[in-house]
Structure 1
């Protein structure tokens, strides 16, 4: 088992047999002086009034009249649960999706022919991401102790929605190239998360410790963004034409797996405040309209769509069609739904 795991590559076959040759410029020369794990203190949660635990605009169910009518205490409680979900998402994303890929890269088992400096930098990313996972989990524990309100559903659920979505993505790949979806999702998440984190540190409505924690994360992720943009160049140039044709059409699904709201967690939290299943369905459907979700994903993914365009991914007709169908290439079809079917899921 351990020997197999040691030898297993994300891309099969000898790396030297795959095309390579991109230039790489490291952004980690001053890592010891800049990394949050090296220089930032432990962030200590404290309740600050009047304040919000999470931006309500990023969790629109709390703005819905059926929820807002239940009072500020209910809204505050839901925003605290959304903070927990964000922290849990971060911990699981780092542990399940990013650290394993960065580890494979650092140990020369990605299946890509990468420069030694790029492999060395991947080890620094492993350290960064382990710290992000740790401080997110620690901060959630502090918040629960300080507020007396525990996390709801984290231990009993299937995990953040991206976990299930990534498994479904893997099932869509030919058996011979399963593993590339791990690289793909790491590229997607690491190039998109810095944009997601950018506004929260400037939101003065939030507790200072929340803003500082997210700022610590965002500063590290800025370097990771540049790194994984380089990983995309190496990965795409290394794939055969057949592999690109198999992988390319799945990229929009990977983007959606990362950016689409976690409807199951939201439904669980809305049920906890006494909403019926019909009311929960209505709140979620009206808070996240299909067209609004598509537009939001398209805007957030625009830089990554450009990166895939630059490496030639959208030169393939099927890949281009999948981006267009998902609304990522300027010709969105509004009839395509986000896939929210609340009555068909288990909370």
Structure 2
């Protein structure tokens, strides 16, 4: 599939934009110098266990410890997703190793993502170490995988081997677009430590550009797949989204955090029951806009154009009939 003149011009402008504004080219190292008692390291709105009455009764120090451990998981997740999932697929595209050819300029843009993501992982690890030195608080045992990795592992056996890399590529396109939403949400909260706010802001600026790049990747890939290949992938995407948007890893980590701040087993069960509701993806859609954001991204990329694929999403109540 060729690439038209207008798109080529757009991609060239994107390269120029990367040269000017990417974090690795335009931002200094973010150095954590002090922590104000009024600041916290992670958005309270994104960690509901910190707002539960049983946790509030433990006092401010316990809340701050919960938010600090939540920061460690957030940074660890960034380092994992950037150096493992995203980089694996991005390098395959950049090196023209997929069964489907990609335009040269788009491959060049994806290579800038590889550079950015390695830097994001470096910044996340660097900031985590700075926080540990300053606070004296070490991370709990952090998850060794990610929900996107779990979702990929669950989906691959449902597809023929020749479509595994296509599924992985689509997974990264989805992840890059949903990660950006997470970063924007984090950035909106007041009271965050200013150095973390700067680190997150740098990352967010890069990820907005990555959203556009991976939107192009998905549209191009979907356009060169056969109808049979699209339908095979489309049939597994609802289950993939259910696994990807699952909070199972977060739930276990929250259990560990609550034990760390001194709650007993019965209290932990009470807090988890109130903050981690058992619900299917369609129900989760009613309380978290990330579901609609991901589905809309797929729709805008042409994934739901085929009636058979759209019906699979309708059957799971991920789109309206």
Query: TM-score, normalization: structure 1?
Result: 0.82
How big is the alpha-carbon RMSD for the aligned residues of Structure 1 and Structure 2? 2.2
How do residues 131-146 of structure 1 correspond to structure 2 at under 5 angstroms? 131-146=119-134
CA–CA distance in 1 between the matches of 2:228 and 2:64?
51
Q: Partner of 2:309 in structure 1?
A: 319
Once the two structures are superposed, the pairs formed by residues 96-175 of structure 1 within 5 Å of their partners are 96-154=84-142, 157-175=143-161
* Counterparts of 1:286 and 1:102, CA distance in 2: 39
**Structure 1 residue runs without a partner (length 5+):** 1-19, 332-347
Deviation at 1:230, TM superposition (A): 0.7
Deviation at 1:263, TM superposition (A): 1.6
Contact kept, 8 Å, 2:42 with 2:71, in 1: the verdict is yes
Instruction: Provide structure 2 residue ranges, at least 5 long, that are not aligned to the other structure.
Output: none
Q: 1:29 to 1:296 in 2, by over 3 A?
A: farther
Whole-Å separation in 1 of the counterparts to 2:38 and 2:69: 17
Measured in 2, the distance between the counterparts of 1:139 and 1:213 equals 8
Greater shift, 223-232 or 185-194, is seen at: 185-194
CA distances 1:290-345 after superposition (whole Å, capped 9, x unpaired): 46743344x124343223224443244553344235443137xxxxxxxxxxxxxx
Match 2:66 to one of 62, 65, 78: 78
Larger CA deviation: 263-272 vs 228-237: 263-272
Tell me the equivalent position of 1:30: 17
In 2, the alpha carbon distance for the partners of 1:181 and 1:282 equals 38
Secondary structure (helix, strand or coil) at the match of 2:263 reads coil
Contact 1:192 1:301 in 2 (8 A): no
For residues 187 and 300 of structure 2, what CA distance do their matches in structure 1 show? 31
Residues 28, 75 of structure 1: alpha-carbon distance in 2 compared, 3 angstrom cutoff: same
Shift of 1:276: 3.8
User: Deviations for 1:129-150, whole angstroms, at most 9, x for unmatched residues?
Assistant: 0000110011111111111110
Q: Deviations over 1:221-255 (max 9, x none)?
A: 11100110111111111222222122113323444
Counterpart of 2:181 in structure 1 is 195
Structure 2 residue 191 is the aligned partner of structure 1 residue 205: yes
Query: Aligned residues, how many?
Result: 309
Structure 1 residues 219-258: aligned runs within 5 Å: 219-258=205-244
**In the alignment, what sits opposite 2:77?**
89
Q: 1:102 to 1:200 in 2, by over 3 A?
A: same
